[in-house]
Structure 1
C-alpha cells in the first residue's frame, strides 16, 4: 500500500515534466505521420476488421453484465437489438399519439407528483472514483472517509509522504492549509540551513503562530514527527514545564533528507476524485419519466433554489419591459452557476438515449469522448446537435464549458453521423447499430 503513496508523488513529477514538454507524439514517427495515421483510421471502411477488445474493455463489459444480473428483477427482459428496437418504435408511436391528444394541464399535475418520487430522478446521485485507493464507485462524502482511513493506515510505512497527503486531503480550508505548509517548510528549512543552531530545533507548542497556523491542521503533527521531532516537557525561564517539539537528528537518515520532505510538502496535492459518468441507456419513455435532478447536483439546497427562483420570477415580472438581452443572459448564467453537475443525454436516430453525468465546468471535448468511446463504430466522425439546432464541433466548441454552451442543468443532444460518412453508413448492413453491445445490455428494463 505504501507503494501507492510513492507512485502518487512520482506521477505528479512525471505529469509536471510532460506539461513542460508540450504536445506529444510517437517516438517512432513524425508529427505529420501521426496525423496521417489518424486520418487513415477515420477513413477505414466499416467492413474492415477491427482489433479485438482490450483487457480493460473486457473487464468493463463483464462488470456491466454482473450489475445487470444483480439489478434485474425480470429475468425475461429481452436485451437483443431487435427487441429493443421494437420497444423503442412502440414507445415513439405512443409518444406521438399522446402528444396529439394530451390535455395542457395534465403535464403540470404529473410534474407535481414527480417532485416527491426519487424513482423519477434522472440519476440516483453523483458518484466518484479514486483509482489510487480502489475501484469502488461512491458518493463524495463516503470517499472522504475512505481516503482519510486509507492515508492513516499508511502512516507507519511512509509517514512523511503520507502526512503531506493528509494535510492536503483531510482539511477543507485551503487558505489555512497553505499557511500551515509555508510554516512547516520554514521550520524545516531553518534546520537544513542552520543545523547547529539550537533555537531552530525547538518549537514551543504554546507559541501563538504554532497554535494558529499548525496545530489545528490535520496531519501537521504527523509531518513534524516524520521530520524527526519528538514531544518533550522542558522547563521555561520561570521553571514551569512546557510542551515542546524537539528535533533530534538521530530520528532521520540525514539532515539532507529534510530537503526531500520540504519538496514533498510544496508539491503535494489533494487526492483527486474522478467523476463517474454513471452511464445509463434509456428508452424514450424512461427518459421522459426521469426528469428530476437529485439534491447533490445543486450548489445550493433545493429549498434555497426554489426560494430564490420565486423571488427572481417576481422581480422579472415587475421589470420585464426594462430588461435588456445582456441582462437576461447575465441572469441565465447566474442561474446555471447554481448547479455543480449536469445530466447530458444523447438521443440516437433509433430513439435510444445515452446518459452521462458531467461537471458544469467540464469541456465539450469530454462529452464528445464519452459518446465516442461508447459507439460501435468509434472511429467514424459524428456531430451532436443542441435543442436549438447548433452543431457542436470539437474544433470550435471543444474547449467551451457546459455553462458556456448553455447545456446546464440538463440537455438532450441529437446524434448524427458526419456528412462525410453518411453514404458509407447507409451502405453498411449495420447502419442501425450505434452503441456497443456491452453498452446496450445496460438498457433499463421497463
Structure 2
C-alpha cells in the first residue's frame, strides 16, 4: 500500500473510531442502587509527579536526541570534554560565580524577559535556539524548519501523482494552496462529482465549460484541482470552438470510483508536522541567553518592531493608572503574539535542559518531556514555576497559554525529601543527553 493510501486509510479508521466512541453511552445504573465509590486517582497539590513505569527510552526522546546530535555534528566546534566529572565541575564553578554576583543570580533565576526586547535583538549568537523545527513521519525522519517542510511536502506529493493521482491531488489542494482557496475549491469539486453520482445520465452534469466564472475563480487555477477532475474521468475537449471538460466513465482512474474520490476530498487535510523539541543541555552561563528567533512569533519582525515602538511611546506619554481589565487585555494581546514557548528546566546540579513547545500544549507534556530525559525515569519529581509554584493534578490538563508560561519560562526540578546538598551532587540526565552540552 502506498503512503498516500495509508494516509487516507488511517483517517478512515480514526473517523470510525470516533463514531463508535461517540455512540457508546456506558452502562446504566438503577436509581435505588447503592452509589459506587470511584477510585481516587487525583493527587494533592503538594504530591510529587508520579511518572508511569517505562522500560526504555521513548521514541520521541530518542528521535529528538538523534536530531539534535545530527545538527551539532554538522557544526564546526572545538573539542569539548563531555565527561560527567568535567560537566559537574564546570557547572559548580559557574554556580559559585553566580552566588558571588547578585545581578547574575537575578538573571539566571528568572528566564522571563520582555517580548519586545527579544524581538529587537538581531545577533544570532545570542539566540536561545536557532529556530523552530519539525518532523514529518509520513515522509521521512528529517528535522527541518516549517518552510523547508512545505517545499519538501509539495515535492513529495507531486512525486506520488503518477501512482495515486486522484487521492494525491486531494492532498495537493489542501497542502499547496491557501486555506480559503482550498476550501472553496473542494466544495465546488464535491458538488460537481455528487451531481454525476446522482444523475450519471444527465448531459449537463457531465461537462464543465472551462470559461465558466465559478470554475475559473474556484477551481481552474488551484493546484491539484484539475488532477482531481482528470482522475474522476474528465478530459479536455473542444465543443463549438470552446474548451470544455467532459466526463466519461471509461476515463476514470483505475481502481478509483467517484464516491471514494468525494470521501477523499472531504477527509483531506494538511499533512501533519510534529514539533521537534530541539533539546539542548546548557550550563548556567549559557542559560542566560533568552533572545527568541522570529519563528516563535505569529507576526513579522517588522510588526514586532512597530509594536515595540508604540509600546515605548505609550509608556512615555501615558501617566494614567490602568484598571485591572486594561492590564489583562494588554497581557492577552502580548501573549497572542507567540506560537511557541521556550521551556527550560533547571536541575539542582546546575545543568539546564531546554525544549520547544506549542503554546497550546499541556503542562503534562512538559512533565513527560522531562521524564523522558531522566536517567531514571521512575523517580518522583516536581517542577516549580516562580509564578505558579508547584503544579498539581488539576494543572496537568491546562495549556501553557492558560498558565501564561509564554514566551519562555524557567522551571525548577525538585525531588521531594532529598536535601539540597545531596541533590546538587547527583546526575539526573541520560548519558547521551550529556553529549548535547555545548562548548562555549
Which of the five TM-score ranges fits, normalised by the shorter chain? Answer: 0.7 to 0.9
What's the CA shift string for 1:363-416, capped at 9, x where partnerless?
2222222112111222233221112252223x2122322221111111111111
Partner of 1:439: 433
Query: What's the secondary structure of 1:95's corresponding residue?
Result: helix
Partner of 1:242: 242
- Please state how far the C-alpha of 1:362 moved relative to its aligned partner: 2.1
- Please state how far the C-alpha of 1:341 moved relative to its aligned partner: 1.6
1:334 aligns with 2:330: no
1:99-248 matched pairs, under 5 angstroms = 99=102, 115-172=121-178, 174-235=179-240, 241-248=241-248
Query: Alpha carbon RMSD of aligned pairs, Å?
Result: 3.3
1:394-413 matched pairs, under 5 angstroms = 395-413=393-411
- Please state how far the C-alpha of 1:131 moved relative to its aligned partner: 1.1
- Between the aligned partners of 2:76 and 2:50, the Cα distance in structure 1 is 38
- Between the aligned partners of 2:52 and 2:199, the Cα distance in structure 1 is 66
- Between the aligned partners of 1:404 and 1:176, the Cα distance in structure 2 is 32
Seen in structure 2, the aligned counterparts of structure 1 residues 363 and 44 have a Cα distance that, compared at 3 Å, is closer
Query: What's the secondary structure of 2:285's corresponding residue?
Result: helix
- Between the aligned partners of 2:255 and 2:196, the Cα distance in structure 1 is 8
1:263-342 matched pairs, under 5 angstroms = 263-288=263-288, 290-342=289-341
Partner of 2:2: 3
Query: What's the secondary structure of 1:404's corresponding residue?
Result: coil
Partner of 2:347: 348
Partner of 2:77: 73
Unaligned runs of 5+ in 2: 23-37, 42-48, 108-116
Q: Select 2:87's aligned residue among 75, 84, 89.
A: 84
Q: Does structure 2 retain, via aligned residues, the 8 Å contact 1:68–1:441?
A: no
- Please state how far the C-alpha of 1:433 moved relative to its aligned partner: 2.2
Q: Does structure 1 retain, via aligned residues, the 8 Å contact 2:95–2:350?
A: yes
- Please state how far the C-alpha of 1:73 moved relative to its aligned partner: 2.8
Seen in structure 2, the aligned counterparts of structure 1 residues 430 and 55 have a Cα distance that, compared at 3 Å, is farther
TM-score (norm 1): 0.82
Seen in structure 2, the aligned counterparts of structure 1 residues 262 and 59 have a Cα distance that, compared at 3 Å, is closer
TM-score (norm 2): 0.83
- Please state how far the C-alpha of 1:200 moved relative to its aligned partner: 0.8
1:17-96 matched pairs, under 5 angstroms = 17-22=16-21, 51=55, 68-71=72-75, 73-75=77-79, 77-96=80-99
Seen in structure 2, the aligned counterparts of structure 1 residues 260 and 99 have a Cα distance that, compared at 3 Å, is same
- Between the aligned partners of 2:130 and 2:410, the Cα distance in structure 1 is 18
Q: Does structure 2 retain, via aligned residues, the 8 Å contact 1:249–1:255?
A: no
Query: What's the secondary structure of 1:284's corresponding residue?
Result: coil
Query: What's the secondary structure of 2:125's corresponding residue?
Result: helix
What's the CA shift string for 1:247-279, capped at 9, x where partnerless?
111112799811111011111111121111111
Residue correspondences, number: 407
- Between the aligned partners of 1:115 and 1:217, the Cα distance in structure 2 is 39
- Please state how far the C-alpha of 1:96 moved relative to its aligned partner: 2.2
Seen in structure 2, the aligned counterparts of structure 1 residues 123 and 42 have a Cα distance that, compared at 3 Å, is closer
Partner of 2:112: none
Q: Does structure 1 retain, via aligned residues, the 8 Å contact 2:344–2:409?
A: yes
Seen in structure 2, the aligned counterparts of structure 1 residues 21 and 87 have a Cα distance that, compared at 3 Å, is farther
Query: What's the secondary structure of 1:412's corresponding residue?
Result: strand
Seen in structure 2, the aligned counterparts of structure 1 residues 120 and 100 have a Cα distance that, compared at 3 Å, is closer
- Between the aligned partners of 1:327 and 1:139, the Cα distance in structure 2 is 37
Q: Does structure 2 retain, via aligned residues, the 8 Å contact 1:121–1:293?
A: yes
- Between the aligned partners of 1:54 and 1:218, the Cα distance in structure 2 is 39
Unaligned runs of 5+ in 1: 24-31, 36-40, 105-110, 236-240
Seen in structure 2, the aligned counterparts of structure 1 residues 57 and 323 have a Cα distance that, compared at 3 Å, is closer
What's the CA shift string for 1:149-177, capped at 9, x where partnerless?
110110010001100100111111x2322
